[in-house]
A = this chain, B = another copy of it.
Amino acid sequence: MRIAIYAGSFDPMTRGHEDLMVRSLEFVDRLIVGVATNSSKQPLFSIDERVEMIRMAMGDQPRIAVKSFGGLLVDFARQEGAHLLIRGLRAVSDFEYEYQMALMNRHLSTKLETVFMVPSLDTTYISASLVREIARFGGDVTSLVHPVVASALRAKLPPK
């Protein structure tokens, strides 16, 4: 069974993240969405909120599991029996960082392969940080995130 990991901070999950999760099911048997706890930045949503939102939004996908993790990604992958890391690529600046990480992860665990995917064109310009900024100023995020996330954003950042 091919198990892959799609890791990130998902603060919050966007339509771009969802798109990649579903696409990856085309060639993996099981996808583990790994929500990273150890970000140095102060997140908008707690780790539990982020895990819960993804679970609710992706609930109809039996082959997707959502878990939080701390520590190194290579250790999480080993623990989950995953040999594949899925990453999204939208821009050159993404690419450079991702390329360095792919080489470092391969150095740390030779069994771990990274594959990159291109998100759907209409999610290209969506990032979690832009979504947070738009929500903070009362902009409309309904086409950028899942309804579950849109509700959570409204509750967390009520219009003034």
Q: Taking beta carbons and an 8 Å cutoff, which residues of A are in contact with B? A: 2, 4, 23, 26-28, 38, 70-72, 74-75, 83-84, 89-93, 95-97, 99-100, 102-104, 106-108, 113-118, 121-122, 124-127, 130, 133-134, 137-140, 143
Cross-chain contact B95 with A26 (CB below 8 angstroms):
no
- With contacts A89-B95, A108-B134, A121-B103 known, is A27 near B26, CB below 8 A? no
Shortest Cβ distance from A93 into B: residue: B96
Copies in the complex: 6
Most chain B beta-carbon neighbours within 10 Å: one of A26, A83, A84, A130: A26
Q: Shortest distance in angstroms between A134's beta carbon and chain B's nearest beta carbon?
A: 7
Report yes or no: B91 in contact with A96, Cβ–Cβ below 8 A. yes
Q: A75-B137, A113-B26, A122-B121 are in contact. Are A92 and B84 (CB under 8 A)?
A: no
* Residue pair A107, B125 in contact (C-beta under 8 Å): yes
Closest chain-B Cβ to A55's Cβ sits at a distance in Å of 25
Chain B neighbourhood of A72, CB < 8 A: 133-134, 137-139
